[in-house]
């Protein structure tokens, strides 16, 4: 059973929303990191339709699999927009060395560092070109905190934040994103063999169903709600200390 809303209506809503927010900010368009996955493909496709050359798509490899860059280039070539590559590997290596070497960082810390480096480059390009940074996290990821705080969550706009993963895929098909990208196993490409669903411990289909209907096996429901509670700090504004004396 599908819980996806109509892809045509969703696309129209997203386009209007993006246009309004970019105009309100006095910006020219958007900048997006093109990972080779379906979420960033949808955001880039929308940006290209709305803003043309004022949509900057950046491929930002950092000890990444070559296939991811090839998939990103496939998206750009199929949909007819240009993209640029900024290799973050030397900068990452230098930072890791300065911190104390790879042995000083856990795998997760290193992965988060990569996400925050990508954010830094996206903002540098966006600011230089009067663009807004457009994040690619969808509702399923945000609900369980599957994103890096001040990394891929750091953006000016999050157009997919209200869409289930199945809805992102439906919009991708509507926009003409290559089937290979739509069917690709979701992964942040943070380390060899890493997949989203492997880390989460359940599939996006299960998560979509729970978010849409509230139904899941008791053990899965407990895990999802635990992830929600533990990641709440990621979705809240930074606490501000305001002395009242």
> Would you name the residues annotated as active-site residues?
39, 141
- Tokens in use for 12? 């129209």
Do residues 164 and 206 make contact, with C-beta atoms less than 8 angstroms apart? no
Helices 38-51, 7-24: axis angle to 10 degrees equals 60
In this structure, what token pair is assigned to residue 45?
A: 């496709």
Tell me the DSSP string of the chain: ---PPPHHHHHHHHHHHHHHHHHHTT--EEEEE--SSHHHHHHHHHHHHHHGGGEEEEE--SS--HHHHHHHHHHHHHHT--EEE---HHHHHHHHHHHT-GGGS-HHHHHHHHHHHHHHHHHHHHHHHTEEEB----HHHHHTT-S-TTTTT--SB-TTTT--HHHHHHHHHHHT--HHHHTSPP----STT--HHHHHTS-HHHHHHHHHHS---HHHHHHHHHHHHHTHHHHSPPP------
In angstroms, how far is CA 12 from the centroid of its own chain?
A: 20
């Amino acid at each position: 059973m599908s819980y996806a809303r109509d892809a045509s209506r969703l696309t129209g809503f997203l386009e209007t929303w993006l246009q309004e927010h970019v105009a309100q900010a006095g910006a020219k368009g958007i900048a997006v990191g093109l990972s080779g996955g379906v979420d960033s493909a949808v955001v880039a496709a929308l940006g290209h339709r709305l803003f043309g050359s004022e949509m900057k798509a950046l491929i930002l490899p950092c000890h990444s699999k070559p296939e991811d860059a090839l998939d990103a280039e496939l998206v750009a070539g199929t949909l007819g927009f240009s993209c640029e590559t900024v290799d973050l590997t030397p900068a990452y290596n230098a930072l890791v060395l300065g911190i104390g070497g790879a042995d000083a960082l856990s795998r997760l810390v290193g992965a988060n560092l990569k996400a925050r480096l990508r954010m830094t480059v996206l903002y540098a390009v966006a600011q230089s070109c009067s663009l807004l940074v457009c994040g690619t996290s969808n509702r399923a990821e945000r609900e369980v905190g599957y994103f890096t705080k001040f990394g891929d969550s750091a953006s000016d706009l999050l157009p997919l934040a209200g869409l289930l993963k199945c809805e992102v895929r439906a919009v991708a098909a509507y926009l003409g994103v290559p089937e290979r990208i739509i069917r690709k196993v979701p992964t942040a490409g943070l380390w060899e063999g890493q997949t989203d669903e492997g880390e989460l411990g359940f599939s996006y289909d299960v998560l979509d169903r729970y978010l849409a209907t509230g139904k899941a096996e008791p053990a899965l429901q407990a895990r999802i709600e635990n992830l929600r509670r533990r990641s709440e700090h990621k979705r809240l504004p930074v606490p501000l200390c305001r002395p009242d004396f």
